Amino acid sequence: MSIKCAVQLGLPEAVGAHAGPISLPDLVSSLGLPPSKAPYLHRLLRLVDNPYNAGSLLLAVLDPVLTEPFHHMSAWFRSEKDDDDVNTTTFSSTHGGKMAWEYMATDAVFSDLFNDAMARDSCMIAELVVKEGRSAFEGVGSLVDVAGGTGNMAKAVAKAFPGMSCTVLDLPHVVSGLEDGGNNVKYVAGDMFESIPAADAVLLKVISCFLFYLIFYNLNIIFNYICNCKLIALV
C-alpha cells in the first residue's frame, strides 16, 4: 500500500526527472505536498523500492478487480456451484461468471492498466533477452509472439534483428487499434487456442512477474503440431 501511495503521488517520476540527488524539502515541493508532510514522506520513502517503474503492475495487482475475489474465497469454498461448472473460480464468481480475459474485454480502464503493466515489464525483459538470449533468435526469419500483449517484446526483438518479420498475436481488445510497429512488426487479433499464425519460431512469455527467464530449445516438439516451428519460451 505504501508503494501504491508513492506511485499515486508521482514519486518515481519526480525523482527521475531530477538531474541529481534531491533533498526532502525539494521533493515535497515538486510533488506539490504541504511542507508539514515532509517527515511522513521521509518514512514513506524508506519503504519504497521501485527501480523498474513497476507502478502500473502494482496498481493492477492492488486494484479491486483483482483484490475483491480474495474477499470471497470462503464463500467460493462453500458454494456448490462447482458441481455444475468445474471452471468456476473466485475471480469468475466475483465478476459475473467471467474469467479474467473475458472480464478485461469488458473493462477498458482495468485492461489498459494491466496491459501497461505487462508492457513495462516487457521493456525490461526484452533488453535482457535480446542481449543474453541472442543465440535463440539467430537464423530465425519469422517469429510470432503468442499472447504478446501490446508488443514491446516483439518490437525489441525486431529492432535487434531487423531482417526478422515479427507478429504479435493477442486478443482483439488488446491489439485492435494498435499501429503496426515499423516495417517488421505486425499485430494479429485472435485466440491462440483456435489458431496461431505460421512462423519459424513461437515466442511465449508466460509468467514474467516471477522473474524466471528460461529459454527452452528442446520443446519444439510440443509446438510442431501447431506450426512446425521453434519454440522460444520465457517462463
Ligand X SMILES: C[S@@+](CC[C@H](N)C(=O)[O-])C[C@H]1O[C@@H](n2cnc3c(N)ncnc32)[C@H](O)[C@@H]1O
Whole-number minimum distance, CB 232 to ligand X, in Å?
12
CA distance 187 to 168: 5
**Site string (39-58) toward ligand X, x via CB under 6 A:** --------------------
**Helices in the chain by DSSP H: which ranges?**
2-9, 11-17, 24-30, 38-47, 55-61, 64-67, 73-78, 90-94, 100-104, 108-132, 134-137, 152-160, 172-175, 220-227
CB of 191 to ligand X, least distance (A): 4
Length of the chain: 235
202 binds ligand X (CB under 6 A): no
Q: Which residues between 171 and 200 bind ligand X (CB under 6 A)?
A: 171, 174, 191-193
Cα–Cα dist 200/142, whole Å: 5
**Closest by Cα among 148, 91, 158 to 121:** 148
> For ligand X, which residue of 54, 130, 140, 147 counts as binding (CB under 6 A)?
147
208 forms part of the interface with ligand X (CB under 6 A): yes
SS3 91: helix
230: contact with ligand X by CB under 6 A: no
CB of 187 to ligand X, least distance (A): 12
- Nearest approach in angstroms of CB 171 to ligand X is 4
**Contact between 156 and ligand X per CB under 6 A:** no
- Left if phi > 0, otherwise alpha if psi is -120 to 50, otherwise beta: which for 217? alpha
**Which of 41/154 has CB closer to ligand X?**
154
Query: With CB under 6 A as the contact rule, which of the stretches 34-42, 48-56, 116-124, 134-142 interacts with ligand X?
Result: 116-124
149 binds ligand X (CB under 6 A): yes
> Please, which residues bridge with residue 142 across strands?
165
What is the grid cell recorded at 68? Answer: 475483491
Q: Which is nearer to ligand X, 101 or 110 (CB)?
A: 101
* Residues near ligand X, by CB under 6 A: 101, 118, 121-122, 147-149, 169-171, 174, 191-193, 205, 208
